[in-house]
Structure 1
Amino acid sequence: MSRKKRERIAAALFLLPDGIGLLTFVVIPMLLSIGLGFFQISGFGSYEWVGLGNYERMMSDPLFWDSLKVTGIYVVVLVPTLFIVSLGLGLLMKQKLPGTGIYRTLFFMPYVISLVVVGLLWQFMLDTQNGVVNKALRAAGLEGKAWLGEPSLALASVIAIMVWVMMGYYMIIFLAGLQEIPQEYYEAARIDGAGPWTTFRTITWPLLRPTSFFVLLMSTVAAITGGIEVIFVLTSGGPANGTSLAIFYIYQQAFMFGEYGYAAAMGSFLVLIMVLCSAVVFKATKGGRFDDGDQ
């Protein structure tokens, strides 16, 4: 047996466990979900073929389109905010100031806390009458707000909470990307008299493009498909469906109303939207690659 053939066999054996896991927990469930979208499923487990009936229902469902609108606002606000905050924290942590290790831990801790616990914690803090946030505002002479009682404030509160939860994780990713940039570039810029902004614009930002691509892609996917636990605990999609993201509406249809076929159809449509958003991110960042002029 040739060396090249042995290397191919070894590579296939190393990839086999991940391939089996991917097939079992991603590919097969996805195909089953697409298939379920063509059936009407009762709570007793009976399947009735409806073809494109679920998709026709989806197209005429105003609540589904309202949830997509809320999801669009949520993603458009959350992703750039999370990106900027995480990048800022990564740049700050790179300075190796006193106590940096403690601050890294504190910023990362919310990410490892259960989202249900996060929801309960912030539900207590944002309570209109006895919440810590409103008490602090009143102590400062300001008027308290119904943070979870008004649609716009409730959605803004959910976005702020999710930024707080995820910023530590993406801070670590940015920090890893920043530490991969050779220090010689910064030393040469310092010798040339470049200021902090010029150094960031000409060195840090271009060389951080692969990391930025990863953060934008992952945070976009997380924004579209995640956060359901926080919304369930905090608002249950209210008030007036102001925080009913598409993923939460799909959850309601499947596990509260037993509309599994309809939920599967909406889930397939949401995956298509997620793929399109990922393609836009890929195109905008050029897949994290460098052009010849960037090097």
Structure 2
Amino acid sequence: MEKRQAGSKLISKNTLIAYGFILPSLLVFAVFMFYPLFYTVYLSFFDWNMIKPVKAFVGWENYIALFRDPLTYMVMKNTLLYIAILLLLNCAAPYGLAFILSFVIKRGQGFYKSAFFLPSVISLVVGSILYLWILNPISGPVAMIAQFLGVTVPVWSKTQGLVIMVLSIITTWKVFGYNFIVIFGGVTGVPKEVIEAARIDNVPLHRIFFDIVLPMSSATGVYIFIMTIVQGLQYIFTPIKVITQGGPDNASSNAIYNVYQEAFVLYHTGYASAFAIVTMVLFVVLLIVEFRYVEKGIYYEN
């Protein structure tokens, strides 16, 4: 009986110590995550411009106006297009490149890793201005080369459809290196014996990639998949702000930039808060779907 009581006291003491270590992190989350979230939900039911001393309660009117506004659906379509392009450039492309450098071209791995990772340490503002000069349709290097070849370069920042692709490329320039290094680590962690056995059996390289490397490095792949969606949309805010400001005619805007535009440019704080909550709910739904259907097929060693 005394041993049980001593054991329960020890567990209780260890539990309190554990909560003591967790408490600072919980306080940081409460101040910088939970409070802003609850306050955003609160503001979404009010009409306020951040200047008036009194907030006017409007109930669900902000949400109703949000779903009635055609701009909402245009912005969401742009957001999905950004996600598709970023996943292709920052998730699929690094995977293929990491496989090639790991099992096909093994020389110069250090050079390639350094070259691809270097843009990750450069400010995205600097990168946006650099690409704005490179892709200048009149005096940029690309325009000069195109003029020499007799080709006309379109004004990409004023062309709907093309502007999203170029902004995604600028963001990829910043994000690609980090994703490549992480995926490269996951791919090189695949046992070499399995790859050699497949090669002895004359298994084609594309089957080795899809049937062996991709499943056995899927834990890393899912991490990059999620981070590409979350961080990619955050990073792409910078080139939009620096170069297009959402134009032409909101063709380059996305959900995150539109929330900023409504809140801090037009001062529609309640409407912007409602838009932010709807965007967060959509991302939560995507995350639940990912954990429900994708996480089941993840391979974790040991």
CA RMSD of aligned residues (A): 2.4
In the TM superposition, what whole-angstrom CA distance separates every residue of 1:32-67 from its partner, at most 9, and x where no partner exists? 111111111132343121111211221222222221
Q: Secondary structure at the match of 1:128?
A: coil
CA gap of 1:203–1:138, structure 2 versus 1, over 3 A, is same
Name structure 1 gaps, 5 residues minimum.
none
Contact 2:99–2:209 at 8 Å: present in 1 too? no
Please say if residues 210 and 288 of structure 1, whose CA atoms lie closer than 8 Å, have aligned partners that are also in contact: no
When normalised by structure 2's length, the TM-score is: 0.87
- C-alpha contact (below 8 Å) 1:38/1:51 kept by paired residues: yes
User: Which of 251, 254, 257 does residue 248 from structure 1 map onto?
Assistant: 257
Q: Does 1:167 align with 2:169?
A: no
Distance in 1, Cα, partners of 2:88 & 2:53 = 43
Maintained 8 Å contact 2:120/2:177: yes
Q: Determine which of 80, 91, 105 is the counterpart of 2:88.
A: 80
Q: Deviations over 1:130-171 (max 9, x none)?
A: 112222222333222212121121111112222222111111
For residues 154 and 132 of structure 1, the distance between their equivalents in structure 2, rounded to whole angstroms, comes to 18
Q: How many residue pairs were aligned? A: 293
Alpha-carbon distance, 1:4 to partner: 4.1
Q: Quick one: structure 1 residues 90 and 20, their matched pair in 2 at CA, closer, same or farther if it must change by over 3 Å? A: farther
Q: Deviations over 1:208-244 (max 9, x none)?
A: 2111211111212234444111101111111121101
Cα deviation for residue 289 of structure 1 reads 2.7
Distance 1:41 1:15 in 2: 37
* Identity, % of aligned positions: 28
Gaps of 5+ in 2: 1-5
Q: Summarize the Cα distance change of 1:53–1:235 in structure 2 as closer, same or farther, 3 Å threshold.
A: same
CA drift of 1:268 comes to: 0.4
Counterpart for residue 107 of structure 1: 116
Distance 1:20 1:176 in 2: 34
Change (3 A) 1:197 1:238: same
Match of 2:66 in 1: 58
Q: Which residue number in structure 2 is paired with residue 259 of structure 1?
A: 268
Q: Are positions 1:18 and 2:25 aligned together?
A: yes
In the TM superposition, 1:156-235 aligns within 5 A as: 156-235=165-244
**Partner residue, 2:3:** none
CA deviation vs aligned residue, 1:264-286 (integer Å, no higher than 9, x gap): 11100010111122223334423
**Aligned residue runs from structure 1 range 146-161, under 5 A:** 146-161=155-170
Does the 8 A contact of 1:93 with 1:104 survive in 2? no
Pick from 32, 37, 42: which aligns with 2:39?
32
What is the distance in 2 between the residues matched to 1:86 and 1:161? 16
CA distance in 2, matches of 1:67, 1:32: 24
Contact 1:237 1:244 in 2 (8 A): yes
Task: Report the Cα distance in structure 2 between the residues aligned to 1:281 and 1:44, rounded to whole angstroms.
Answer: 42
